[in-house]
């Protein structure tokens, strides 16, 4: 395996942000907190759950965060996993197969817990396409810190110059840059084009078809 494509999950492979917004809002309301505005919740997508809950509900102690996380994971499992196949963005599965066929190693680098990410990918029928899945619970410093990117590269046996990160948030682009990895920002997820452009990705893609093409173009540039 000489080159690798690292991919974010929510908002990059699957159209889950709306489900995340709804689930977080319901959990906080059930726990007696005001239901946050959808835009505020959407702004936390791509961050670890503990950070999201603290950002949306104010100061929470560890027990409150643990309970909110537990309820979120249960609701996500019951309400979202059963419809995961229908949430896969257009051309993602074909594009992943094309990249694998071209010899690229594939990995998921996500702010979800690893077990939750694997369960979602499995429910969506995509898990078998990936060589590695790394979640926020496997690092001490999540995105945008480079630790996750470095960990994935080590597991894949690939150096930073031979990897590209694909994601829909500034956190993905910042992590890639800090780890010395090229990046492709996708505009169909959480981040809007102007914000993503300000983050300085190597390329910007409006669809997964473009992602598949842009991966090859990046290698043409860096080769």
Residue 86, number of CB atoms within 10 A of its CB: 9
**What six digits make up the tokens of 156?**
């894949």
**Residues forming the active site:** 8, 10
* Sequence-separated (6 or more) residues with CB below 8 Å from residue 160: 149, 153, 179, 180, 181
What is d(CA 25, CA 189) in angstroms, rounded to the nearest whole number? 19
Instruction: Kindly calculate the radius of gyration of the chain based on its CA atoms and give it in whole angstroms.
Output: 17
What is d(CA 62, CA 170) in angstroms, rounded to the nearest whole number? 27
Cα–Cα–Cα angle for 134, 136, 137, nearest 5°? 95
What is d(CA 90, CA 81) in angstroms, rounded to the nearest whole number? 18
Q: Which phi and psi angles does 48 have, rounded to 5°?
A: -55, 150
Query: Within 13 A of 189's CA, how many CA atoms are on the CB side?
Result: 36
- Residue 23: strand pairing partners: none
**What six digits make up the tokens of 15?**
């159209």
């Amino acid at each position: 395996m000489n080159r690798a494509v690292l991919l974010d999950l929510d908002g990059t492979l699957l159209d889950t942000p709306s489900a995340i917004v709804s689930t977080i809002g319901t959990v906080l309301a059930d726990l007696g907190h005001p239901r946050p505005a959808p835009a505020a919740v959407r702004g936390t997508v791509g961050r670890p759950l503990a950070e999201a809950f603290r950002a949306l509900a104010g100061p929470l102690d560890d027990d409150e965060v643990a309970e909110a996380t537990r309820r979120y994971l249960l609701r996500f499992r019951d309400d979202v996993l059963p419809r995961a196949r229908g949430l896969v963005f257009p051309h993602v599965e074909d594009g992943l197969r094309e990249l694998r066929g071209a010899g690229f190693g594939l990995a998921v680098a996500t702010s979800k817990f690893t077990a939750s990410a694997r369960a979602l990918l499995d429910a969506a029928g995509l898990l078998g396409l990936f060589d590695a899945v790394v979640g926020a619970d496997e690092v001490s410093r999540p995105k945008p810190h480079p630790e996750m990117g470095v960990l994935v590269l080590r597991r894949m046996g690939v150096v930073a110059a031979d990897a590209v990160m694909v994601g829909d948030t500034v956190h993905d682009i910042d992590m890639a840059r800090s780890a010395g990895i090229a990046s492709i920002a996708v505009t169909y997820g959480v981040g809007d084009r102007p914000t993503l452009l300000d983050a300085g990705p190597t390329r910007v893609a409006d669809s997964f078809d473009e992602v598949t093409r842009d991966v090859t173009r990046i290698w043409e540039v860096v080769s």
